[in-house]
Amino acid sequence: MKCFGRIAVGILVSLALAGCNGSPSFLAPSGPVARKQSDLFWISHAFSVPAFLIIAGLLFYNLIRFRKRVGQDRPLQEIKHATRIETIYTVVPLILVLVMFVLTIGYMEATAEPEAKNDELTIRVIGNRWYWEFEYPDYQFVTPDEFHVPINTDIHLIVDSVDVIHSFWVPQLAGKMDAIPGETNEMWFRATETGEYLGYCAEFCGIQHALMRNRLFVDTPEDFQAWVSLMRQPPPQPQTDLQRQGYDLITAGVCANCHTLGTKQDSRLLGPDLAHFSAHTTMVGAANPLNEANLRRWLLDTNDMKPGNLMQIIPLTPQEVDALVAYLLMEELTGGPAPETQSTNP
Ligand code: CUA
């Protein structure tokens, strides 16, 4: 009985957490693909919830109505055959399953491709342990963690991975898509509302799976073009000696073993490109707000923020940390949240 109590509490807590404000839900769609998918969810529940209630109701009714009473010793009555009941509980579920099957196929067809069939923007999405990378072939740049798209545009995603199987998911825009090394999967979505959307990795891929997130910004066409032109600019040139030292560390020092600065060509290279780093609002798998305090914490001990990460542990001197912070944040921060750090171990 204790065990049932615990399970009940667990279910209640999960339900309460699932309803937390701000948690992205595919039931709050912001585009046609997610909208169709949530429609299908509701339709299937319109069948399955009444079915569950009827079956569970009958079960409990019979459990109580025909329970063994004290002092009553009724012999078991064996029922051998009941054609009518057997026909009902065979045919009704069969019809329900067939209806759901046909509906699901219809919705899969309807969401497979945009109606107009003109992909206006193609983005390559590359899974890495443990961050997402977004490559814009039309504009020739690649950026980690966060990506932008213009509103009301068909976005064609080519999803791929460089190491293990990940799964790309922005719940409010479209369903999940596996990112499989050596194979490309394709999906599309269209966003009909501007704003910021949280995304996840939805396939267990190692120790930092839960913090392999992404952020999608749906912009007006003007904002999107402004972001693209910033990303296409060469990385900023250092203005002070300290910034110069940071720049040299990234382009020719220890960081250059894994990182690039606006020159990342091969997604198999370890480590994200650091050009226009401060144009992001988050860092380290889009799981922490980008600000100076977090950047220092990261540079001093990456395992403190992201245990088990694959960045080589090369201790930096306080002077080098200062230099990297000075360079990486020399462009104005684009509005990362307040400077307090976010817990990385929920
Ligand atoms: Cu990548 Cu889970």
Which has the higher per-residue pLDDT, 257 or 20? 257
Torsion of CA 219, 264, 286, 303, to 10 degrees: -170
Ligand 1 centroid – CA 298 distance (Å): 20
CA of 264 to the centre of ligand 1 (A): 22
Give the rounded percent of residues in the chain with a pLDDT score beyond 90: 50
Biggest CA-to-CA distance, the chain: 95
Task: Give the nearest ligand 1 atom to 202 CA.
Answer: 2
pLDDT digits (tens, 9 = 90+) for 106-122: 998 888 888 766 668 99
pLDDT digits (tens, 9 = 90+) for 285-327: 888 999 989 999 988 888 888 888 888 777 889 999 999 999 9
Residue 110, judged by CB atoms within 10 A of its CB (0-12, 13-18, 19+), counts as: middle
Fold agreement between 121-232 and 241-341: yes
CA 179 to ligand 1: nearest atom: 1
The CA-atom distances, in angstroms, between 65 and each of 51, 58, 79 are: 21, 10, 17
For the CA of 212, the closest atom of ligand 1 is 1
Ligand 1 atom nearest residue 205's Cα = 2
The top-scoring range by mean pLDDT among 165-174, 275-284, 334-343 is 165-174
Residue 18 CA to residue 25 CA, distance in Å, equals 9
CATH architecture for residues 241-341: Sandwich (2.60)
Tell me, which fold does domain 121-232 have in CATH? Immunoglobulin-like (2.60.40)
- Bridge partners of 149, per DSSP, are 218
3-class DSSP state of 193: coil
Q: What pLDDT shows up at residue 12?
A: 60
Alpha-carbon distance of 110 to 258, in angstroms, equals 42
Say what the pLDDT of residue 76 is.
72
Question: Ligand 1: distance of its center to the CA of 217 in Å?
Answer: 21
Going by C-alpha positions, the residue among 196, 152, 194 that lies closest to residue 170 is: 196
260 contacts 272 by C-beta, under 8 angstroms: no
Compute the Cα dihedral for 278, 281, 287, 292 and give only its sign. positive
Give the pairing of strands 177-179 and 213-219. Answer: unpaired
pLDDT of 21:
47
Q: How far is the CA of 166 from the centre of ligand 1 (A)?
A: 4
Structure tokens at 100: 């759901």
What is the distance between the alpha carbons of residues 275 and 328, in angstroms, rounded to a whole number? 8
Residue 7 in this model has a pLDDT that exceeds 90: no
CA of 160 to the centre of ligand 1 (A): 12
pLDDT at 95: 93
Q: Tell me which residue has its CA closest to atom 1 in ligand 1.
A: 166
Contact 319, 300 (CB under 8 A): no
In angstroms, the CA 189 to CA 156 distance is 7
Radius of gyration of the chain (CA): 26
Q: Is the overall model pTM greater than 0.85, yes or no?
A: no
**For the chain, what are the domain ranges?**
26-59+82-112, 121-232, 241-341
Is it the case that residue 333 has pLDDT exceeding 90? no
Contact predicate 237/244, CB 8 Å:
no
Q: How far is the CA of 78 from the centre of ligand 1 (A)?
A: 54
Q: Which residues line ligand 1 (CB under 6 A)?
A: 127, 130, 166, 201, 203-205, 209, 212
